[in-house]
Structures are given as structure tokens and as C-alpha cells.
Structure 1
Amino acid sequence: MSSLAAVQKPEDEICPVCRLDTYMNPSMRFLINTECYHRMCESCVDRIFSQGPAKCPIYGCNMTLRKNKFKRQTFADLQVEREVDVRRRVNQVFNRRREEFDSLDEYNNYLEQVEAAIFNLVNHVQEEETEQKLNEYKAANQSAIKANATLLSQEEEKAEIMRQLEAERRLNQRLSAIEESVAEQELKKEADRKIIQDLATAKDGEADNIVKRAAAYVQRGLDLKKSSARRGPRETTSAVSFGDSALSLLNQRTRTNIADTADGAPFDPTTEEYVNEFYKVQSQYYDPFLDNVASNKQAQAAGFQVGVVYEQVLFDAFMGLGVFIEEEKKQV
């Protein structure tokens, strides 16, 4: 092989009009026209077609081209590029849907006719006759074609929204995992500080209990973080299962009907006792902050009760579970 042949550029890197290549002009961009699919550089397109329609400069091609028909090449094989363009153009006209046919055989026959039209246009077989049929069908079914195109656009928009929601869900999962990891480290550090503080003043034999309470505190904190962090994504991705469980919880709730009361009087929170069905307040929780406040003499003198705080915090956390506004409106 000669040295000249070794350095020759591939033909697809050379403009067939000006004969410049990407070595001399690294920023060169090639364009093709959907009428004849001949490649030429962007500079030649601007020079030849900026003043209006002109004939293709490639030898033997007499087609009249327009600048607005040029585009960037997507596929390396121009035959594939042309087939994709033809298929897109034909499918924009022959866009009937499966539900428009009475049987599957009719739909398959329709698809076979569409593929036959695409084959003829791609391979230049009865091209004029196929183009005529395509134009006649487009003129006769313009309203149906437009309606199906609108449905397809709506479906694509819905699919894009679902894709964005899925991406957002995955992002939220990653952020939740990071938050859980950070929260776990913080809880462990706080538990270690509490253990050291309690062990400094602990009596003999209390070390094991202090460590167990610290471990239980960390575990409860992690469980609460996980449940609150994952509640949102579950509602987004599993709306049906969440709705079913919520409705079952709603049905289990005891509803107080004004008409069913003994004297027909409205509900009075000062005379009727509230029955809690969602949680049970324990007598003690591992909370270093509240423990310090509860042991403070000034807080005791002011009437501070740690049990009231526990009850209020749990009430705020569980408030709204199983309550659905639409269901409440129906019963009014």
C-alpha cells in the first residue's frame, strides 16, 4: 500500500461539492436534504441555496432543493436515514389505531398496507402511484388523521410526565437514603454522649440498662425517620395500595354522628372524652432534652409535665391519618 493511500480520507469526511475535508476544517458539519439525500457541507448549502431554490450540485441529480429541507444526518447509513424519514412521514398519514377496527385481522391487513407503501417509497417501486394514494387518503381523512395525532400527542405527553415522576421518585429515594444515613450517625453520636453522661452518675449495675435504653432510642428514631421519609414516595408510586389500606383504616374508625347522640346535641369536647385509636402514650421515653427539663426545679415549679409533651407530640404526629376530606363531605 502506498503512503498516499494510507493517508487518504474516507469519502464521508469529504464534501463532494467543495472537496474540503474535516482535517482542513475540523468544525465542518455535513447536511442532507430529504429530497435526494446527498451530503454536502453547511458552507456549500449556505452558498448555493441562500438565495432561493436551486438544483442539487451533485452530478447527475437534477432535483430542485430548498435550504429549509436540509438537516443534520442522524444515522451513518443514508439508506437507513431515508427509510426512517419515509416511515415517519407515512405513519403521520396512516395513523389509525387498533380500537378503530372491528377485528385483529382487519388491523393487521391495514398494517400490511402501510408497510407496503413504505417499502415502495423507500425502494422507488411504483413511487408516483404510492404518493398519489398517500395524498388521496390524507385529503379524504384529514379530520380523523388530526384527531389521532392529537391522541398520540397526549399519550406521549402522559408518558413523559410518568417518566419525570419516576425520575423524581428515584431521586427522592436516593435523598431519603442519604438523610437516613446522616440521621443514623447523628442519633448514634447523641446516644453515645447520653451513655457517657449517664454512666458518669450511674450506680452499680445500671450500665446494661443505660446501654439498652440508648440502643432502643436509636432504633425508634431510625424507624420514625424511615416511615416519614418513605411515606411520600409510596403515595406517588403505590396510590392504589395506599388508598386501599387508608380506606380500610377509615372504615375502622368510630364516627360520632350528631343525630345518633342521646340528646341530639352537637359534639362538645369539654364533656365528651376523646378516645384515641392510633397510639398509646408510654410513661417514659428516652429523650435527653426532656429528661433534663423534667428534672429542672424551675420547670417543675411552673407545672411542666413531660407526659403532656409526649401526648401532644404523638397527637401531632398521628393527626390526619385516615382522614379524607371528600369522604367527610359526603357524610355532611
Structure 2
Amino acid sequence: MDGVSRIEDEVCPVCKLDTYMNPSMRFLINTECYHKMCESCVDRIYSQGPAPCPYPNCGKTLRKNRFKRQLFSDVAVEREVDVRKRVAKVFNRRREEFASLSDYNDYLEEVETAIFNLVNKVDVEATEARLEAYEAANRQAIATNASLQTREAENAELLRNLEAERRRQQRAEALEESMAEQELKREVERKVIKELANAREGEAENAVRKAVAAAQKTVQLKKSSARRSARDTSTVSFEAAALSMINTKLATPDARDDLPYDTLEEEEYVNDLYTVGEHYYDPFLDNIENSQQAKAAGFGVRNVYEQLLFEAFMGLGCFIENEKVRHKGAVTT
């Protein structure tokens, strides 16, 4: 039965050609009636302008620019998705525009009712009239919210691209550091061999110990420098770039004038209690930071330092006794 349905789906109902004889055949649907036909029939029937749907008893007038590829196998799902997109372009108010959550939920219920009516063809004319009246009365607010949604989508895409680039650079740096470490190990072997070749009889052990110690010190210095450079160039630079680009987009002259609500006054928190250092003695965190898995995952030990210091200092300036007296007075009154 499934095979029969599949074969029928691959035959154009208009010209009766199938994909077996024409493998490059593509099927299109129109959002007016969602009847399917091949791309050749669409070009043949609608290239000269609007024309009736060739399906019997349809009666819809179709236009070529309204045809599209079918994304879902179920036409009912395809139609509901299109209806939701169309309604969302009109009813696009945001949570911040409502005084209470109850009002916002009532608005969402009204939107879902309109979608249900259009999908199930219940009171279609009244629902379409409601959409047109709402769009005419709220044209400016709809355009404002659409602009905000576009900017939010652009910022989200920007952050995704920056995060992907940061992870790519971290992987490249981890690979480069691994190759550099292998080269340093080979350099250690060469130094040991050289020291052994120049050592006197009975001093071989001391020569090897001296060469290994010097090589290990060189390795540690280079690894520390590489970690500091990688942290400065990857984490800090990409975070600064992301914040800078997003703030630049949001600070355009028309970005704040068309907000549908009053924004809060900007307040900048100034930390005058402590300063985060570049590095602290912590073997546990050092081992994690130096592992290849942590580097590939984007782990940053500085974020841990900042969080720990914030939690350690967050209680300063808060006097418990005063808070008790204030809370007790608020309860008694």
C-alpha cells in the first residue's frame, strides 16, 4: 500500500508525467489551495499571468509567484505552518508591552483562536476581517516589533558565528601547541644527547639531569607564554568583538526611538573591592586548563577566578544586624 501511495505521489496530476521517466521533475504547491503540480505545468499554465487552478472543483485563481516547494509530507502541516507565519507577522506584540502576564496570555489565546479558525476553516471571513482591521490599526507597532525581531535574529546569528570562530581558533591553537610540545620534546632529546656526548666519564647522570631540568624549564616558560597569548587573543578578543558589534547595532539612531516600551536607565557596576589577577596558584585548575579536552571545549580559568572572587566578596557591605532590624520593622508594621 505504501508503494502504491509513493508511486501516485510521484505522478503529476495535471500532465500525468512521473519521476520515473523524468527524474529531475520537481513538484510545487500554491498557498491558495495547496494543490500539487509539477514545475513544468506551473510554467506552462501561469507564465502569462493568473489562471484558475486545474484541479476539478477548485475554482481558486493562482499566480506563479505564490508557488513554492513543499517542505512537509503532510499538506495539513504545511498549511498550518504557513498560517502561523502569516498570523505571526500581524500579531507580533511582545511580553514587555503588556502590564500583566494575564493580559499577555489573553492576547496569546486570541492569536491561537485566529490560527485555529484559519486552519480549520471556521469563520474564515470574520477572522480575515479581524486580521486586516488589526493590521490597519497597529501598522506602526507591527513594523517596530518586526524590526526588533530582525535585529535580535541578526545578533543571535552574530554570536553563533563568533562562538564558532572562537572554538575553531581554540582547536587550531590546541593543535599548534601540541605540535610545538612534540618539537620541544625532540629538542630535549637532542640536548640530552649533546650533553652526554660532551660529558666526562662518570658525569653522565649529572649531565642528563642538568639537560632535562633546563629543557623542562624552557618548556614551561613557552607553554605559559602560549597559554597567556591564546587567552588574550581568543577569549578576550572574541568576547570584546561580540559585545562591541552588538552594542554598535543597538546604538544606531533608530534602534532605541522605536522601542514599544520605556527602557531602564543604564547603570554601570563598578567593582572597587578587588582586582582579578592573571593567575593564581591552584594545581587543580592548572591541570584542567592544560588538558587538551578543556581547551577544545573552550574552558577559561579566568572565569572561575572571577566567579570565586565575586562569591567571596559579595557579602561585604551587608550588615546582618541592620537587615534583621529592618526586616523586623517591616513585619510589625
User: Above 0.5 in TM-score?
Assistant: yes
C-alpha change, 1:233 and 1:8, in structure 2 (3 Å) is closer
The residue type equivalent to 1:234 in the other structure is: T
How far does residue 12 in structure 1 lie from its aligned partner after superposition?
A: 1.5
Indicate the residue corresponding to 1:232 in structure 2: 233
Correspondence for 1:60 among 35, 57, 60: 57
Q: Give yes or no for the alignment of 1:87 onto 2:84.
A: yes
Q: Structure 2: how far apart are the matches of 1:34 and 1:86?
A: 9
Correspondence for 2:137 among 136, 140, 144: 140
Q: Structure 1: how far apart are the matches of 2:3 and 2:117?
A: 41
- SS of residue in 2 equivalent to 1:32: strand
Residue by residue, what CA displacement relative to the aligned partner does 1:116-136 show, whole Å, maximum 9, x if unpaired? 000000110001100000000
Residue by residue, what CA displacement relative to the aligned partner does 1:188-224 show, whole Å, maximum 9, x if unpaired? 1222222222222134133222222222222322222
- SS of residue in 2 equivalent to 1:206: helix
- SS of residue in 1 equivalent to 2:275: helix
Indicate the residue corresponding to 1:50 in structure 2: 47
C-alpha change, 1:165 and 1:129, in structure 2 (3 Å) is same
Q: Structure 2: how far apart are the matches of 1:187 and 1:206?
A: 18
The residue type equivalent to 1:180 in the other structure is: E
Give RMSD over aligned pairs. 2.4
The residue type equivalent to 1:68 in the other structure is: N
Correspondence for 1:197 among 165, 172, 194: 194
8 A Cα contact 1:32 1:73, kept in partner = yes
Q: Structure 1: how far apart are the matches of 2:119 and 2:4?
A: 35
Instruction: Tell which deviates more after alignment, 124-133 or 231-240.
Output: 231-240
Q: Which has the higher contact order (CA 8 A, sep 6+)?
A: 2
8 A Cα contact 1:36 1:63, kept in partner = yes
8 A Cα contact 2:166 2:235, kept in partner = no
Indicate the residue corresponding to 1:32 in structure 2: 29
The residue type equivalent to 2:149 in the other structure is: L
Q: Structure 2: how far apart are the matches of 1:106 and 1:249?
A: 45
Indicate the residue corresponding to 1:219 in structure 2: 220
Q: Structure 1: how far apart are the matches of 2:3 and 2:115?
A: 41
8 A Cα contact 1:18 1:44, kept in partner = yes
Indicate the residue corresponding to 1:102 in structure 2: 99
Indicate the residue corresponding to 1:20 in structure 2: 17
- SS of residue in 1 equivalent to 2:68: strand
- SS of residue in 2 equivalent to 1:209: helix
Q: Give yes or no for the alignment of 1:70 onto 2:71.
A: no
Q: Normalised by the size of structure 2, how large is the TM-score?
A: 0.69
Instruction: Tell which deviates more after alignment, 206-215 or 22-31.
Output: 206-215
Instruction: Tell which deviates more after alignment, 68-77 or 181-190.
Output: 181-190
Q: Structure 2: how far apart are the matches of 1:120 and 1:187?
A: 72
Q: Structure 2: how far apart are the matches of 1:30 and 1:80?
A: 17
The residue type equivalent to 1:226 in the other structure is: R
Q: Structure 1: how far apart are the matches of 2:69 and 2:129?
A: 28
Q: Structure 2: how far apart are the matches of 1:147 and 1:235?
A: 34
Indicate the residue corresponding to 1:314 in structure 2: none
Indicate the residue corresponding to 1:210 in structure 2: 211
Indicate the residue corresponding to 2:249 in structure 1: none
Q: Give yes or no for the alignment of 1:118 onto 2:119.
A: no
Structure 2 gaps, min length 5: 244-269, 278-333
How far does residue 234 in structure 1 lie from its aligned partner after superposition?
A: 2.2
Structure 1 gaps, min length 5: 251-332
Correspondence for 1:175 among 172, 177, 190: 172
